[in-house]
Structure 1
Amino acid sequence: MEVVDRADLPARDDIDEVYKWRLEDIYSENELWEANCGKLKALLEEMETFKGKLGSSPNVLLAALKKCDEIGELLGRVYAYATMKSHENLKDARSQVMAGRASMLAVEVSKAMAFVRPEISCIDDHTIERFMEAEKDLEVYRFALEQVRRLGGHILPPEQEDLLALAEHLAGSPRDVFTLLTGADLIFPEIKDENGRTVKLSEERYGKYIYSRDRRVRKDAYVGLLSTYASAKNALGATLFGSVRKDLFFAKARRYPSCLEAALFPENIPPSVYEMAIELANRYLELLHRYLRLKKKALKLDELHMYDLYAPLVPETREGIPFEEAKAAVFDGLAPLGEEYRRALAEGFGGGWIDIYESDGKHSGAYSWGVYGVHPYVLLNYKGTLRDVFTLAHEMGHAVHSHLTNGNQPYVYSGHSIFTAEVASTVNEALLLEHFLKKARDDRERAYLLNMGLEQVRTTVWRQLLFAEFELAIHRLIESGEALTQEVFCRLWRSLNERYYAPLLIDAENDLEWSRIPHFYSAFYVYQYATGYAAATSISQAILREGESAAVRYVDFLKKGSSAYPLDLLRIAGIDLTGPAPFEETFAAFSNRLNQLESLLL
């Protein structure tokens, strides 16, 4: 079986096993999963015996940390298996129950281990060093302990931590209300598609129609979606205000000088990194404006509107690409990363990591999921477009990152910060794009690829940093004592869009776009997409320029997991995000590709 081209999706059983991931590598049968759920609960009871004793002796501290690792690794398997099983078919009741149980177990684990960080933070530095000398096996946890100790000034006494834990349940209310309001209560209108058929609009379908080559469809989708959000603007303004108030509450409770510092301090990222990214995005806005003017000319429009931004300048040039051909393209495109990287990639392609094709009830989209002690997994819904080939490269970037980390780090350092995780996926996309550009069959395909690269910078750097600037502004407003309303959000959103997208005619509907962005309920998150993209651009350019030496540095970075702070990890790969160079390289590459696209289209 290759690309599915049917209106009725196949049942999962109709898809050949070779195109499915092997969850049996985690548990060969559900009974083993059940047994591990029971084992996990028993481990939580054992964990309880350490409560109040972590500072008593080096042996006790080591045993407790090892128990944390054992619980974390087991929970990782139990949770991953149940959740991915449920994603195979969201209509399957049994797997949905398993996923629900896994989520409840995760909550139990979080509660049972809540005492660990506060207790460690209360152990003084002298005692920690004495413990390290007495128990050499504690050395592996040195950085993990340093992270907790560093947070010591922001971890409260146990009784107050208990109160904050209770408050966390309330703190999730704004996001919960936003999710239910936008996902269940808002009623989106019907529009006509390109063929005149009546279709019900939704967030997911909007993502399709905003790319339509039919301007009437794009506008109807845009107006229909944002007008629906406008009908609940006061409620959505209240939910966002509530979320920002929550951020301020926890920042003050944990004695941070600002909401921004509260968000960045755990990863040891100076606020100047965030602020510099925004400043650089604004400094290079003329490049974005030039690209938008090219869009206007290429689309032959008298006025460029927000609903024109995603209109393709060149239609998709290749469809129906067999998956074997996609794998070969990714494998060849990532050759500059060296043999060690490609051995891991080949293992993933042939080792039951990937669930490839769409089927009835399958979870939409794509993701990668690392399972410590097993191997990573990748979910796709491959349809054979060029974009799907890039999605494969993106997700395999995450997967190989997990594979290399898990093969070289103990469990305690097996995770990845978003700050570094997005680098691994974006380097793959950058190298694949260069590979395809070199092999472009004609000017039309070359223009399509150049436009794809420009759109990545527009949406991942400028758009996300517009979001970041909005977040910073609304948090500073509340820190200065101002109330936030939907009118305040709308005014600020319009002013930012008028600056970032100066060549556009900003429609009134766009003033409400802030109300549909779920990331705003996880404050100061989105800027990491921009920093990750800039870092990945610098890394990929260095690999193409320097060859093996840069590739070796990069693979070494991938092996480090979370064994150091994100900025220090990126320095291993030769990237310093405390300075402007990665962003300047990104904008220089954007300018170069824009020059090429202008020469092809004008």
Structure 2
Amino acid sequence: MRLGYGIRSAQSQQVSQGGGLPSRQDIAAEFQWRLEDMYASNEAWQQDVDAVGGLAASLQELQGKVGESAENLHRALSLQDQLEERLSKIYAYARMRRDEDNTNATYQAMADQAMSLWVQTESAKAFLVPEILQIPNERIHAFLDAHEPLQLFRFELEELLRQKPHVLSAEQEALLAAAGEMASAPQQIFTMFNNADMKFPTIQDESGRDVELTHGRYIQFLESKVQSVRKAAFDAMYSTYGKHRNTLAAIYAASVKKDVFYARVRNYESALQASLDDDNVPVSVYDNLLKAVHESLPQLHKYLELRKRALGLDALHMYDLYTPMVGDVDMTMDYPQAVEVVQRAIAPLGAEYQRIASEGLQSGWVDVYETKGKTSGAYSWGAYGVHPYILLNYQGRLDDVFTLAHELGHAMHTYLSNQHQPHVYASYTIFVAEVASTCNEALLTHHLLQTTDNQRIRAYLLNHHLESIRATLFRQTMFAEFEKLTHEHVEAGGSLTPEWLCETYYHLNQQYYGAVCTVDEDIAMEWARIPHFYTPFYVYKYATGISAATALSQRILTEGQSAVEQYLGFLKSGRSDYPIALLKRAGVDMESPEPVRTTLELFGTMVDELAGLLS
């Protein structure tokens, strides 16, 4: 298939034109996700909410008796699993309903109710893990040998024993669980402030029209061919955040203090170690990533020099990093066309994978367009027993096509894990969460390059892939370094004032970009708009994920069926083993820095190829 460029549907034009955003009722049903597949109505959701109390009561009846027999241990774990499955569905539905329109009071209340129920239930079952850990290890192994149904929970029990030094007494665990709602407050406050209350000014677009700046349109403006538009969007975005710098610093500081508190009470050396231990990932993996990227900063600087020359700029600013270097290739496409392109790109993964993805994209999995009050960005989510869902804010840019491929990778990983694992092992860990999504992006890049013989288009695609590596490997590693510094600062007794945060973040930008870029002062406020910082030490997994995905996609394309089978086996594995072990079986060793270095070497090779095409 050959791509058509510069085409948008009427629906896409409606969302992308200047003026206010459309309301949800203005969007055709075919472009909305179908949450009714999860719950037919809000009343059905409430019925599940009401049923949770009975399950929690049944579990609590076993308190003090869990270690008496293998049967009691099995029943307790089964009830916990049922509770978690039910709660995950309740919470996902409420949050996704709210994400449709964050200003809707009904959905706000449902999301709050779901969070409260989660915290209450966590408190009710807080006794279980400490009680299990009071059972001697040899007795647990004897239970496993004697009671076949308990085998389902063998890996979970072994994982509990591994984390035994970090689990507190039943009373202490109950207290921590009861504090869970307060602990989630910084993230909740930031989400509401950022999505519902934050208002941005209008700026003038390329045609001189006044257009409202939104989260969804910000990157679109930064990709503009007109530098004044890019600068206006950049200035408007960060001046708006700057007006709230004290509030945002206080919110983020509270989040970091929460991370440090939980790490200390659970006897970890640091918040970093505590976060990585959930995946049984050694801190050396994190440190190796930072080291490898630091070593390769000259490759980034070589790319920035090429960007500066290609754009014909005397000075390269931070708002010049996203606009395509190959300016006369317009690769916009409407959403149905993007779906077709992505389906063709994933063909190397086999007919069954293609069929499931195709059916899902046409069956209410995806919420496509930006609307008033809708949560910004993109994600894949869902609940066990129901197909996955994808939230987009599709604008018709090439980045949006890659976002579709990315989130479809998440959704397919979820779908296959759910199909092949029991609930207790279906939810894969965050460490591997970005592998399937980024592998899809690599396959899309390969497909796009294979379906054109136009050198200008090829240069454009290379530029896009280089930007993907810059944004995912270099940029996310810079974010990861910022997180490490903020948490270490608090652990050393420091205070996260607006001045310290801005100075630290600006210094990192100088380190990563300053050799070539004019590091504009306003970039110092960028930390304030990164929602992932409220999920501690998450972003580094984007960087390790793209490294693993690059290696896996190359194996799929060069080795064919044998590599595909190993890869699909990985997607079907959920969290039935530790993530590093699962990736090793798929063919990549993340304890070694080599996957990161390989991706960075590929980056350098692609910079050279692009330089040749643009010369």
TM-score by length of 1: 0.91
Match of 2:525 in 1: 512
Q: Distance in 2 between matches of 1:562 and 1:208?
A: 37
User: Does 2:398 match 1:386?
Assistant: yes
Q: Distance in 1 between matches of 2:547 and 2:467?
A: 14
Aligned partners of 2:203 and 2:211 also within 8 Å: yes
Match of 1:536 in 2: 549
User: Does 2:149 match 1:137?
Assistant: yes
Aligned partners of 1:376 and 1:399 also within 8 Å: yes
Consecutive unaligned residues of structure 1, counting only runs of 5 or more, are none
Distance 1:411 1:167, change over 3 A: closer
User: Does 2:44 match 1:36?
Assistant: no
User: Does 2:271 match 1:263?
Assistant: no
Match of 1:440 in 2: 452
Q: Distance in 2 between matches of 1:476 and 1:34?
A: 43
2:609 to 596, 599, 602: 596
Q: Distance in 1 between matches of 2:185 and 2:33?
A: 36
**C-alpha deviation, 1:233, in angstroms:** 4.0
The farther-off stretch of 53-62 and 510-519 is: 510-519
Distance 1:506 1:348, change over 3 A: same
User: Does 2:585 match 1:572?
Assistant: yes
AA aligned to 2:257 is: R
User: Does 2:288 match 1:276?
Assistant: yes
Distance 1:406 1:476, change over 3 A: same
**C-alpha deviation, 1:396, in angstroms:** 1.5
2:476 to 451, 464, 476: 464
Aligned partners of 1:3 and 1:383 also within 8 Å: no
Q: Distance in 2 between matches of 1:514 and 1:9?
A: 26
Match of 2:4 in 1: none
AA aligned to 2:529 is: R
Aligned partners of 2:116 and 2:181 also within 8 Å: no
The farther-off stretch of 201-210 and 461-470 is: 201-210
Distance 1:587 1:490, change over 3 A: same
For residues 340-361 of structure 1, give each alpha carbon's deviation from its aligned partner in whole angstroms, at most 9, with x where no partner exists. Answer: 3223223323444334456676
User: Does 2:564 match 1:551?
Assistant: yes
Aligned Cα root-mean-square deviation (Å): 2.9
**C-alpha deviation, 1:424, in angstroms:** 0.9
1:368 to 380, 388, 406: 380
Aligned partners of 2:195 and 2:376 also within 8 Å: no
AA aligned to 2:572 is: K
1:5 to 8, 13, 23: 13
Distance 1:467 1:358, change over 3 A: closer
AA aligned to 1:5 is: Q
Match of 2:3 in 1: none
**C-alpha deviation, 1:530, in angstroms:** 0.4
1:348 to 336, 357, 360: 360
For residues 178-213 of structure 1, give each alpha carbon's deviation from its aligned partner in whole angstroms, at most 9, with x where no partner exists. Answer: 556666777755543333344554545433322222
The farther-off stretch of 448-457 and 584-593 is: 584-593
Aligned partners of 1:465 and 1:527 also within 8 Å: yes
Distance 1:112 1:13, change over 3 A: same
Aligned partners of 2:369 and 2:393 also within 8 Å: yes
Q: Pairwise mapping of residues 48-447 of structure 1 onto structure 2 (< 5 A)?
A: 48-88=60-100, 97-172=109-184, 174-175=186-187, 178=190, 188=200, 190-199=202-211, 201=213, 203-315=215-327, 317-321=330-334, 323=336, 325-356=337-368, 364-440=376-452, 442-447=454-459
**Secondary structure, in 3 states, of the residue corresponding to 1:378?**
strand
Q: Distance in 2 between matches of 1:239 and 1:318?
A: 39
AA aligned to 1:533 is: I
Q: Distance in 2 between matches of 1:466 and 1:20?
A: 35
**C-alpha deviation, 1:400, in angstroms:** 1.1
Distance 1:319 1:210, change over 3 A: closer
**C-alpha deviation, 1:391, in angstroms:** 2.3
**C-alpha deviation, 1:70, in angstroms:** 1.8
Match of 2:506 in 1: 494
Match of 2:536 in 1: 523
Aligned partners of 1:69 and 1:412 also within 8 Å: yes
Aligned partners of 1:317 and 1:448 also within 8 Å: no
Aligned partners of 2:195 and 2:373 also within 8 Å: no
* Corresponding pairs, count: 601
Q: Distance in 2 between matches of 1:595 and 1:342?
A: 34
Distance 1:478 1:64, change over 3 A: same
Aligned partners of 1:2 and 1:322 also within 8 Å: no
**C-alpha deviation, 1:446, in angstroms:** 1.5
The farther-off stretch of 498-507 and 441-450 is: 441-450
**Secondary structure, in 3 states, of the residue corresponding to 2:380?**
strand
**C-alpha deviation, 1:24, in angstroms:** 3.8
